[in-house]
Chain A
């Protein structure tokens, strides 16, 4: 991961944008206990990081953006910051893996990267709440099923259908985020003139 000064500045801008979104909007939504906060914050963050990738199409650029955003999250006033920091790093790492598999930025790569990054929000509670807070995996699993039941109005006994629906929702939101990032990124490139 070697970047020149100009690339570092661009990555800093996008890292700062993601960080600001997490510190302000993310903290507010968490305090208000808005459902699916993690999902939407990851989608917003990944849109920003993917636009940055259009400007610095190099290996490690998205991960670097995520690292800056995660470090800025330390400025967050309330709550435990380590969980969102892990979330930001994991989402940017997953997006980085997909983007690195494609040699050049492509719309398909953006859609897949967005989908995979947002899919992390399904695994995130198992990782953070189980390892860090010591909650049982079963409790987290039941919470997940409860969330699915409330969202889709499905029968709580149809566990696998709920999980598939939750996975599809995340892939859809992430895919849209990737698509949006591609469009917005090109619009910004046109406006800025390069």
Chain B
């Protein structure tokens, strides 16, 4: 009896609504980090709201990661010391002298970190390393895509070689005495083994007549919404600049 299974389409709650191209994501990243770096603290909150909105539409998973306890503790570390010792104690809270100026300073730091973490997380989640390498190749760093591909592929080999070398040295009592000498042996063995493996890859590439100068750069994802995004960011930047010059 043949059963036909119906595959249910699972809608992930953290799926992006908009998908931009590589340039779009990079533009967004640079714009957010630029605003976080150059805007004064008291003007950061609209950018926080804006970046939250953008993140919700483009890389919502980054928001979920920001709600992780690790980041909340990190924000606490930025805020609490400033609240307690960031300036002269001009208010009292639960019997403890606190500084409102320090609170303002700490809050600005939290907002800056929030925007930057969101931007970095979003970029890492939406632009793959090969796309990043493709971009670098286009700005004159030829062969970076090829080198990065090899480096990524070497990671499991490196792990395996390191584990084997470590165990071999450990079983021979290498780390009991003369630990520095053992570490030296370890490093030399790992480098030599990995280099030998890499030489084979190099020979294979040469045998296939690979040349970094003649290789095509890795393709970049292009998004239809990229020009719209660029225009929108330009308008917002001009509005921010206008509001700053008016005040």
Interface of A toward B, CB cutoff 8 Å: 1-6, 8-13, 15-17, 19-20, 51, 64, 67-68, 71-72, 74, 78, 80-82, 131-136, 184, 187-188, 191-192
Q: B196 CB to closest chain A CB, in angstroms?
A: 7
- Identify the closest chain A residue to B81 (Cβ): A139
Instruction: Determine whether the beta carbon of B147 is less than 8 Å from that of A11.
Output: yes
Instruction: Determine whether the beta carbon of B147 is less than 8 Å from that of A9.
Output: yes
CA distance A11 to B133 in the complex (A): 15
CA distance A133 to B74 in the complex (A): 12
- Identify the closest chain B residue to A63 (Cβ): B141
CA distance A147 to B192 in the complex (A): 38
CA distance A180 to B88 in the complex (A): 50
Instruction: Determine whether the beta carbon of B147 is less than 8 Å from that of A188.
Output: no
Give the interface centre of B124, B132, B133, B154 by most chain A CB atoms within 10 Å: B154
Given A72-B151, A188-B188: A133 touches B109 (CB 8 Å cut-off): yes
CB < 8 Å neighbour of B129 from A17, A71, A192: A71
Within 8 A of A (CB), among B153-204: 154-155, 158-159, 162, 184, 187-188, 190-192, 194-196, 198-199, 201-203
CA distance A51 to B187 in the complex (A): 11
CB < 8 Å neighbour of B151 from A19, A51, A80: A19
Instruction: Determine whether the beta carbon of B191 is less than 8 Å from that of A51.
Output: yes
Given A5-B212, A80-B116, A131-B37: A74 touches B147 (CB 8 Å cut-off): no
CA distance A2 to B141 in the complex (A): 8
- Supplied contacts A13-B198, A134-B112, 6 more A-B pairs, CB within 8 Å: A3-B212, A5-B143, A10-B198, A17-B194, A71-B133, A80-B116
Instruction: Determine whether the beta carbon of A16 is less than 8 Å from that of B206.
Output: no
Q: B189 CB to closest chain A CB, in angstroms?
A: 9
- Identify the closest chain A residue to B159 (Cβ): A20
Instruction: Determine whether the beta carbon of A81 is less than 8 Å from that of B146.
Output: no
Interface residue? B222 (CB, 8 A): no
Classify chain B: how many residues form its interface, as a range: 35 or more
Contacts of B146 in A (CB 8 A): 5, 8, 12
Within 8 A of A (CB), among B133-152: 133, 136, 140-144, 146-148, 150-152
Give the interface centre of A2, A17, A72 by most chain B CB atoms within 10 Å: A17
Given A1-B141, A17-B191, A191-B188: A71 touches B117 (CB 8 Å cut-off): no
CB < 8 Å neighbour of B155 from A20, A80, A192: A20
Contacts of B133 in A (CB 8 A): 71
Instruction: Determine whether the beta carbon of B116 is less than 8 Å from that of A12.
Output: no
CA distance A136 to B105 in the complex (A): 9
CA distance A88 to B232 in the complex (A): 34
Interface residue? B126 (CB, 8 A): no
- Identify the closest chain B residue to A1 (Cβ): B141
Instruction: Determine whether the beta carbon of A6 is less than 8 Å from that of B117.
Output: no
Q: B187 CB to closest chain A CB, in angstroms?
A: 7
Instruction: Determine whether the beta carbon of A16 is less than 8 Å from that of B158.
Output: yes
Q: A125 CB to closest chain B CB, in angstroms?
A: 14
5 nearest A-B residue pairs (beta carbon): A9-B202, A12-B150, A16-B151, A12-B147, A134-B112
Instruction: Determine whether the beta carbon of A10 is less than 8 Å from that of B195.
Output: yes
Given A8-B212, A10-B198: A132 touches B191 (CB 8 Å cut-off): no
CA distance A191 to B203 in the complex (A): 19
- Identify the closest chain B residue to A9 (Cβ): B202
Q: A3 CB to closest chain B CB, in angstroms?
A: 6
Q: A113 CB to closest chain B CB, in angstroms?
A: 19
Interface residue? B211 (CB, 8 A): yes
CA distance A193 to B198 in the complex (A): 15
Interface residue? B120 (CB, 8 A): yes
CA distance A131 to B34 in the complex (A): 10
